[in-house]
């Protein structure tokens, strides 16, 4: 039976999330027919995920009534028929509210269907000599087979109306023995891996993702970013996203020979390793950047401003950003003046105020604070909303202020006199001290992140809440901080 010729290419959503049925144009005459079974540009334009197929499989079935499935594999599949016809049945076997959802359709050479990882696939041939083809985005292996999820073809809950009754169909003994739906263990989603989990941002991400089994956290002891062997110990196929919240952030120490080497090792070489992994395994890489990639001469820094770093730390962050930008699926989240659970400027000011110290604080560096709970929320928003990949500035909102302004605000909020804080220039503050150059203006434009649906909280409001929650006094940080 010949397929219908000259149908336009079209996509049809189905009741199973992510499963899409396609009409394929088939061109034929007295000699037979021809079709573009897979054309990446056209399929992407229709909304098909760029799922990166690496292997093409063909199942040849000699007799009508041959029935195979229901198998959910740990990869995505683009399925079509080369010759003949099939009755296809798909059951959602993933964790989540659509578990058990069923979709059926008849496929001939003029139709194709995209099946995401974890959705069970089955078919029954309606003609002799039918060839069923799979384009998949991972290589088959014995290890991968151990991650399959199966459902019995005769499951009463799915209640698939097979055109040829199963008792008259050709089935394998393995397929006859698969479990009913109530005994199926749903396929878990791929995980998000958070690196730098013990830093300020890592702790905020832990709090934001508390109770979420699909997020995994790794501190320095769990994964040493500077050790190539650390990367070999993980099955990267099990991850959908990596959030790189790890960094060498000791700005002044980075100017020393040892600090320079450490900064490049963590901020560049390790980032290059993560970028290779992300590109190879189609993982979304989220990388946290810094205002230090700019020289601070602009009044406001948009995402597309060219890099102009002043010191070693900024140079390493700019190099890391350039590397991450080559990953097909990436978010570079650029932030500044980070405040969270750990050593930071606000806690230092709280400590000084509590001890009656009247500090001199720089008053010619201008920017906005970035509280880690908001950075974490913004990152999770980008991942969950499917925002366009690219660079996003992410700080708190409100009127920019100097470090001295913020110090006075801390003193006032903790019941001390603002007059205790004296403003000094950057040049005067660092006179005769070994210090890295700093951008004088760190204000990052927030239009893009707001357009993506995330509105950062006001920095003053966050500061008041942070201090009201009892920010612990802490001494001025002296050791290199290896995480945001």
Angstrom distances, CA of residue 195 to CA of 220, 221, 323, 377: 8, 11, 17, 16
Catalytic residue among 132, 134, 292, 484: 134
Say how far apart CA 301 and CA 100 lie, in whole Å: 49
Angstrom distances, CA of residue 87 to CA of 3, 13, 26, 120, 123: 15, 18, 19, 14, 5
Cβ pair 105, 183 in contact under 8 A: no
Two structure tokens written together for 358:
């009247």
Catalytic residue among 71, 231, 381, 389: 71
Closest CA to 171 of 104, 58, 71, 91: 71
Say how far apart CA 116 and CA 136 lie, in whole Å: 10
- Residue 442: strand, helix, or coil: coil
Q: Would you call 159 exposed, middle or buried from its count of C-beta atoms within 10 A (0-12, 13-18, 19+)?
A: exposed
Residue 71 designated active-site = yes
Say how far apart CA 92 and CA 147 lie, in whole Å: 15
Alpha helices (runs of H) in 94-172, residue ranges in sequence order:
142-145
Residue 134 designated active-site = yes
Angle formed at CA 193 by CA 187 and CA 198, multiple of 5 degrees:
140
| Active-site residue list | 71, 134
């Amino acid at each position: 039976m010949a397929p219908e010729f000259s149908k336009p290419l079209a996509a049809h959503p189905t009741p199973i999330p992510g499963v899409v049925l396609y009409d394929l144009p088939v061109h034929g005459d007295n000699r037979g027919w021809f079709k573009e079974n897979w054309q990446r540009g056209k399929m992407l334009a229709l909304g098909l995920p760029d799922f990166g197929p690496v292997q093409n499989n063909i199942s040849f079935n000699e007799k009508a009534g041959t029935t195979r499935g229901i198998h959910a594999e740990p990869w995505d599949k683009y399925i079509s028929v080369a010759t003949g016809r099939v009755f296809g049945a798909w059951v959602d076997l993933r964790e989540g509210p659509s578990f058990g959802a069923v979709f059926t359709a008849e496929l001939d050479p003029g139709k194709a269907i995209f099946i995401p990882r974890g959705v069970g696939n089955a078919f029954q041939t309606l003609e002799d000599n039918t060839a069923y083809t799979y384009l998949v985005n991972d290589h088959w292996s014995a290890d991968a087979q151990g991650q399959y999820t199966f459902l019995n073809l005769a499951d009463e809950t799915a209640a698939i109306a097979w055109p040829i009754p199963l008792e008259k169909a050709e089935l394998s003994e393995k397929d006859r023995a698969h479990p009913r739906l109530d005994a199926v263990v749903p396929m878990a989603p791929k995980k998000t891996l958070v690196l730098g989990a013990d830093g300020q941002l890592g702790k905020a991400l832990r709090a934001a993702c508390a109770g979420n089994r699909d997020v995994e956290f790794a501190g320095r002891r769990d994964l040493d970013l500077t050790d190539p062997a650390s990367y070999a110990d993980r099955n990267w196929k099990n991850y959908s996203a990596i959030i790189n919240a790890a960094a060498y952030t000791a700005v002044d120490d980075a100017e020393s020979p040892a600090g320079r080497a450490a900064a490049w090792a963590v901020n560049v070489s390790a980032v290059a390793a993560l970028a290779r992994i992300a590109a190879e395994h189609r993982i979304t890489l989220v990388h946290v950047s810094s205002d230090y990639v700019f020289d601070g001469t602009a009044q406001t820094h948009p995402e597309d401003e060219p890099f102009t770093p002043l010191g070693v730390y900024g140079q390493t962050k700019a190099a890391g950003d350039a590397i991450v930008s080559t990953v097909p699926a990436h978010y570079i989240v650029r932030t500044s003046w980070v405040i969270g659970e750990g050593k930071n400027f606000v806690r230092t000011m709280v400590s000084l105020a509590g001890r009656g110290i009247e500090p001199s604080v720089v008053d010619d560096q201008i920017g906005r604070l970035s509280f880690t709970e908001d950075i974490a929320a913004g990152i999770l928003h980008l991942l969950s909303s499917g925002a366009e990949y690219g660079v996003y500035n992410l700080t708190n909102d409100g009127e920019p202020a100097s470090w001295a302004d913020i110090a006075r605000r801390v003193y006032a909020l903790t019941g001390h006199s603002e007059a205790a804080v004296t403003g000094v220039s950057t040049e005067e503050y660092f006179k005769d001290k070994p210090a890295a150059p700093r951008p004088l203006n760190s204000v990052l434009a927030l239009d893009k992140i707001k357009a993506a649906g995330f509105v950062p909280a006001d920095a003053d409001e966050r500061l008041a809440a942070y201090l009201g929650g009892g920010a612990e006094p802490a001494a001025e940080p002296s050791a290199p901080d290896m995480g945001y």
